[in-house]
Amino acid sequence: MRPVETGRYLVTGGAGFIGTNFVHECLRRHPQAQVTVLDKLTYAGNPRNLDPVRNDPRFRFVQGDIADAAIVEPLIAEGFDFVINFAAETHVDRSIGDPASFVKTDVFGVYTLLEAVRKHPVSLFVQISTDEVYGEILDGAATEQSPLLPRNPYSASKAGGDRLAYSYWATYDIPVAITRCSNNYGPYQYPEKLVPLFVTNALQGEKLPVYGSGKNTRDWIHALDHVNAIFHILAADGVEGEVWNIGAENERSVLEIGGELLRLLGKTDALLASVVDRPGHDRRYAVDSSKLRAKTGWKCEVPFEQGLAETVRWYEENADWWRPLKSGEFLDYYKRNYKFL
């Protein structure tokens, strides 16, 4: 039995979207757990996300790069039960403009963490990979046995980190589990991704940029259902050396998501606007998570309509969180990235 309730957790990327939700939930669920966050605080990392736990004696924040062995090695030498690696460059559009930082963090950063764990053993290292490593799935759903066919620099870098983590299990017997989750939505998501970009643009009276036909589909899962799946994996036997798909079987197109968000905000579809398509835009992702459900009993608990409505409300009520993010470098990126038709 791994010490899920009393464990010492190192959460890399814990100032980002899913990492933040994991940290909050870990400390809420497990009064005896201790959580250290290691985060570089890139544009996507926000120290304010951790304000609700900052003064908790069970929590500690360390600023640093997972690709920097001089920081990672002594930190992991302190002793952890779990390393959960959320840290990554995560936005597909940015990876198309600048792949270098993706290779550095999403491949070399994973290597640096794995090397430290090789010297200082942990109970479980969880590599948070992504369903994008399968590439576009035009029919059915990818199982953990499906071939990997990443098609953009983000997903290719994530596939590198994913397989590197596996190799440390196969070669050095490091206890590694790899997760491949579908598209998350929820509070604290940086407003470059579809749901928070569309909600905040609509709140600002701006157009919602739809790539291509708007018919590309994703499987949308609430971040707390993803976090819950990770806790199920931490607690289960026999997860080492295995890949775990995590999905909600909740497939929606961009136009469906956009329409639903506008309805929730009391706005019309007139705000939807076509932009030049993302190069190599994957048509569809879909994963089969029956292996995880059968092994651990996990299932999705947040109904999509409720989760989306609560998420919209969160952005409405937390304009002081996202407004400052939609300025400076973000606006330069936004102008560079989108060509309205």
Which partner, ligand NAD, ligand DAU, none, binds residue 235 by CB below 5 to 8 Å per kind? none
- Out of 38, 116, 126, 210, the residue judged to bind ligand DAU by CB under 6 A: 210
Q: Which of ligand DAU, ligand NAD, none sits in contact with 18, Cβ below 5 to 8 A by type?
A: ligand NAD
DSSP state of 47: G
Q: Residue from 197, 202, 230, 248 that binds ligand DAU (CB under 6 A)?
A: 197
DSSP character string of 44-61: T--GGGGGGGTT-TTEEE
Q: How far is CA 73 from the centre of its chain?
A: 24
d(CA 329, CA 324): 11
Q: Write down the least CB distance from residue 127 to ligand DAU, Å.
A: 13
Alpha carbons 35 and 26: distance in angstroms, whole number? 8
- 154 tagged catalytic: yes
**Residue 39 vs 225, nearer CB to ligand NAD:** 39
Q: Give the integer Cα–Cα distance in Å for 285 and 169.
A: 27
> Cβ closer to ligand DAU: 211 or 333?
211
The entry of ligand DAU, ligand NAD, none that residue 107 binds, CB within 5 to 8 Å by partner kind = none
Indicate which of ligand DAU, ligand NAD, none lies near residue 197 (CB less than 5 to 8 Å, by partner kind).
Answer: ligand DAU
Shortest CB 341 distance to ligand NAD, Å: 26
> Does the active-site annotation cover 132?
yes
Which residue's Cβ lies closest to ligand NAD?
16
- Closest to 299 in 3D by CA, of 307, 308, 289: 289
Q: Which is nearer to ligand DAU, 80 or 190 (CB)?
A: 190
How many whole angstroms separate alpha carbon 125 and alpha carbon 171?
15
Residue 89, both tokens: 């460059």
Backbone angles phi, psi at 287, to 5 degrees: -120, 150
Q: Residue 131 Cβ, how far from ligand NAD at the closest point, in Å?
A: 6
Query: Which of these is catalytic: 65, 132, 192, 225?
Result: 132
Nearer to ligand DAU, 39 or 81 (CB): 39
132 part of the interface to ligand DAU, by CB under 6 A:
yes
The yes-or-no answer on residue 144 being catalytic is: no
The DSSP result for 111-152, as a single string, is: HHHHHHHHHS--SEEEEEEEGGGG----SS-B-TTSPP---S
Please tell me the distance from the alpha carbon of residue 293 to that of residue 19, in angstroms, as a whole number: 22
Whichever of 62 and 273 has its CB closer to ligand NAD, that residue is 62
Q: What is the CA radius of gyration of the chain?
A: 19
Sheet containing 34-39: order of strands: 59-63, 34-39, 8-12, 82-85, 124-130, 176-181, 242-246
Rounded to a whole number of angstroms, the minimum distance from the CB of residue 155 to ligand NAD is 9
Query: What is the rounded distance in angstroms from the CA atom of residue 16 to the CA atom of residue 39?
Result: 8
Which amino acid type is present at position 139?
D
Identity of the amino acid at 156: A
Assess 180 for contact with ligand DAU (CB under 6 A): no
Window 270-299: contact mask with ligand DAU (x via CB under 6 A)? --------x------x--------------
Query: In this chain, which of 36, 200, 216, 250 binds ligand DAU, going by CB under 6 A?
Result: 216
Q: Which does 334 bind (CB under 5 to 8 A by kind): ligand DAU, ligand NAD, none?
A: none
Query: What is the token pair recorded at 59?
Result: 């929590």
Token pair for 162:
């994913």
Binding site for ligand DAU (CB under 6 A): 90-92, 130-132, 182-183, 193-194, 197, 209-211, 216, 218, 254, 278, 285
Q: Which residues are catalytic?
A: 131-132, 154
